[in-house]
Amino acid sequence: MARKASPVGPFARGLIEDAPIDLILGVFNARGQENDSEPGFGLVEVLENETDGDPRDRILEALDLFDQDDLTPAERRCGRVRNLAEGKGVASLDTIAKKRLSNEEFIEYENQLDPLCRSIWTFINARHAFEDAESFYFARQYRDLGKMYDAFEVELGNTTGFDAISLDKAALATKISEVLELKTKCTVTAMDLPETDAHPESIMLIVRHGGPLSSVRNHRDDGGLGTIYFRPPNEATLIYTPAKRQIEICADSPAVRRQVSGAFAEVALNHDVSQKPLTWKRYDLGRFRRSLILPVPRIDGFEIHQAKVLEVEVRLGHWSRKLSLKVAIDDDIDAIARKYLGPSNVIKRAGMFSRIHIAVKYNKEGDGKIRTLNITISGSKSCNLQSNKDPDERNLGSSLLSEWGILNTFRQIENGDLRAMFPQLVQLFDREDDEITGGELRGLGLDPDRLIEGGLLERRDRQDIVLIDEDDIDGEVAIDPSSTPGMVKATGLFGEDAGEYPLADMERFQLNRQWLQETVLRLVGSLLTKKGPQIIDEDLILLGDMGVDGASTPVYFARRLGDPAVINKLDQLLRARNTSGIGVVLSSSPESLTCLGPNVVVPILSHLEKVGEEQVLSRDAVIQTFSTGRNLAMGGSTVAILKSESQSASLCIPGKAPLAILGANQIRIFERLVAAHLSGSPDVKTAVLIEDTGVQSPQQAFKPPQWRSILDEYIGKGPTRGYWRLVV
C-alpha cells in the first residue's frame, strides 16, 4: 500500500530539521495574527507526553495528522523566516535589527546561534522589526526587477543635515493620507541606513496604508455563501540617498509611487513639487540594436572629442542568460560585433539590454584639459550619473543621453491631452493582452513616445516574426534589418521577398496596466457624486455612487465584455450583489449587453461628452440610458429574451435580475422555454429543448459554475420526468 504524502511543506520541514526545538515551537504557535482559524497543533503536549525517539521526528509525525490546508499558514511563516536567513536577507535583517531593537533586545539577537535562529527569534519577539526587515529586503530585490520600482531625482542646493530622527513622520503621514485620499490611518516608519560597499548612506521609509475596499465570496462551514469585505494592507518602501539626490520607491501602484515620492520631497526636503516636479527618468537602450556607434553632438559649454561604447551586455531570452562584449577604447565595437558575431547578430536581435558602458572624451570651453566621462547604464532605470559628484558632468551626461535618444524624462500628460485621447485609452484598457505593437498604436492614432513619457507605456523589443496576408504570401515572415533607413525587410518561409515595412510598426511595447487603469478611472470619476473604489475582480471595479433622483445608484466599471467567459463571470458576481440596488455598469467594450446582473450596461465610447467639455462622460446621456434600461434591469414587466447580437442576449423575468446568456445553444434553449411559458404550457421535453444544439442535456450548454447558479433560479425541472421549465 502506497504511503500517504506528507502535508508538511518544504519550508516548514527545513525549519524543523535545522532550528532549535524552542524556536520551532515558537513559529508554529505564533498563529494569532496570521490566521485566527488555524488549528492548535499541540506540539508542546506531544513532546511532553512522548519522550522516545528524536523530538523532530515526533513533531513531523504530529503534523502529518493535519490536512495541507491546515498547515498552509505555518508554511508561509516558515518561508518568511527563511527569506531573512539566507543571502541578502541576512544583511537586511542585521541592518534593521541594529536600528529597531533596544540594547537588551539586540544583545539577545546577537546571542542567537546562526542567521536562521536570529530570523526566527526576531519573528517571534520583535515582529515590527521583522516586518521592516522584510520591506527592506524586498526593496533591494525590486531595484533589480523593476516592475514595482521607480527612481526619481530631486535637485537640492543643500542635502546635508537630514536624517530619520529629524523627519516629521506625523506631518508626512498626514500629507500622504491627503494625496492618496486615504479613508484609513497611514503609518510611517523611518530609519537611517549605513553606507555599504554597494550603496551610500540612505534614509528608508516604510509607509503602510489600507488599499481600496475589496471583497471575496466565502464558502461557510454550514455550506452557505457569504461575502467577506476587507482592505488589503498596502505598503510603499522609499529609500532616499542624499549623495545621489535620488528617491527610490517600491509599491504596487505607479500613482502611489509618484504621489508618495512627491509628498516626501515636499515635507522632508522642503522641495516645491508644484514648481519643479520630481524628475522621473528611464533609459531606452533600443537604439543599440541598430548600431553601437554614437554620434558626437554639440553641447553648449563643452567640446566633445569622442564618444564610444566600450561594453554591451544583453540578455538571451531570460534574465539569467547573458552575453557581454567588452572592447578597448581604441576598438570599434560595432565592427567587432559584425566580424565575430555576424551582420545580424544577437545584439541586433536582443530582447533586453542589461548594461551599456560609454566613454566620452571632452573638455570644457575655455579649459584645455581633456577629461573622460564614464557613463554606465544598467537596465531601464539605473545610471551611474546619479552618483557623480560633479554637477557639470551630471548635466553633460544627461544632455548626451538625451541627444542620443537614450534618456526619457517623465512628462505628465496634461488633462486636456488625456481628454482628447480618452477614447483610445479606453480601447487600450479593454485589451486582454498587455503587449501592443507600434503598428497597432499607429492604427489607434497614438504616439508611443508621448505615452512612454507619460508612464502609460514601456518600450520592449522588436518583432522577429509577423503574420501577413498580402499578394502571394499568407503566413509567417521573418523580419530582418533593411538597407533602407527606417524600414525592415520581410522574408517568407522559403526565402521569398515579402517586401519592406516601417520599423516603427514592428516595435513592441508593454502597457503599464496599473497606470492606465488609474488614468481612465480618474477621468470618469467626475461622473460620481460619492467615490468609494472597491476592487471586485480584475475585470470589475465598484467606483462609487452617482445618485439619480435622490436614490443611491452604484457605478461599476467593467472591461472585456466582448469575452463570453468574462460576461459569465461578471454576471454571477453582480447578481450576487443585488442587494446594492439597480446600478450602472460602465463598459470599456464596444460590444455590450443591455443588462449585466441587476444593472444597466452603459458603453463608455457611445456616451462621451462633446469635444471641448472638461468631463469625458456625458452625465445626462448616462442617466437617460439608465432610466430607459432600469425596468429591464429589474426583470422587465414580461418574460422576454432580448438579443444584443447573434451570440449574446439577456433573459428578463419580472422580479429577477436579468440573466446574460451567451452562444447559440444557450439562446435556443431559453427561447424555447420562454415561448413555452408565454403559450401557457411551460413544460418542454428534453429532446425538444436540446434539438439542433449538439448537446445531450441542457446542462452541457453551460459551464458548471454558471449552471449551478441558474438551476432552480432561472431553469428547473418540470413536474414530469424529462421535462424542463422556466422558474418564474
d(CA 510, CA 246) in angstroms, rounded, equals 26
Distance (Å, whole) CA 95 – CA 90? 9
Q: With 0-12 CB in 10 A as exposed, 13-18 as middle and 19+ as buried, what is 543?
A: buried
Strands 213-219 vs 530-537: parallel, antiparallel or unpaired: parallel
Give the single-character DSSP code of 402. H
CA distance 459 to 464: 15
| Grid cell at residue 381 | 532605470
Q: What pLDDT was estimated at residue 225? A: 66
What value, to the nearest 5°, has the Cα angle with vertex 152 and ends 151 and 158? Answer: 130
* pLDDT for position 155: 66
CB atoms within 10 A of CB 423: 13
The radius of gyration computed from the CA coordinates of the chain, to the nearest angstrom, equals 31
Secondary structure (3-state) at 426? helix
Phi, psi at 675, each rounded to 5°: -60, -40
| DSSP letters spanning 143-184 | HHH-TTEEEEE---S---S--TTTS-HHHHHHHHHHHHT-SS
392 contacts 377 by C-beta, under 8 angstroms: no
Whether residue 360 contacts residue 373, with contact meaning beta carbons closer than 8 Å, is answered with yes
pLDDT score for 442: 83
- Residue-level pLDDT at 276: 67
pLDDT value of residue 345: 74
User: What is the chain's length?
Assistant: 728
pLDDT at 505: 77
**Residue 524 in contact with residue 588, Cβ under 8 Å?**
no
Q: Which DSSP state fits 214?
A: E
Q: Judge whether 153 and 260 are in contact, CB under 8 Å.
A: no
| 726 sits in which H/E element | strand 723-726
* Domain 512-634: CATH architecture, name and number where available: 3-Layer(aba) Sandwich (3.40)
Distance CA 97, CA 123 (A): 11
Q: What is the DSSP letter of 437?
A: E
Identity of the amino acid at 420: A
Beta bridge partners of 692: none
Each domain of the chain, given as residue ranges in start order, spans 10-142, 146-277, 283-407, 415-510, 512-634, 635-728
Nearest to 459 by CA among 470, 467, 451, 468: 451
Q: Return the SS3 of 289.
A: helix
3 state DSSP class of 650: strand
Can you give the pLDDT at residue 350? 65
Mean pLDDT in runs of 10 for the chain (728 residues)?
69 88 88 63 81 83 85 88 88 88 91 92 92 81 58 63 81 89 84 75 85 68 69 81 81 80 87 71 78 87 90 74 86 87 73 84 86 87 72 84 79 77 90 86 84 78 66 68 73 72 78 85 85 83 82 87 85 76 86 81 88 80 84 73 75 81 86 87 88 87 86 88 88
- The H or E element that residue 672 is part of is helix 663-679
SS (H, E, C) 35-60: CCCCCCCCHHHHHHHCCCCCHHHHHH
| DSSP SS3 for 408 | strand
Question: By the 8 A CB rule, do 178 and 187 touch?
Answer: no
User: Judging by beta carbons within 10 Å of its beta carbon (0-12, 13-18, 19+), is residue 302 exposed, middle or buried?
Assistant: buried
* Matching residue, cell 492604427: 443
CA distance 371 to 390: 13
Beta bridge partners of 207: 188, 236
3-class DSSP assignment, residue 398: helix
User: Which pTM was predicted?
Assistant: 0.56
What stretches of 480-618 show up as alpha helix (H) in DSSP? Answer: 503-506, 513-524, 564-575
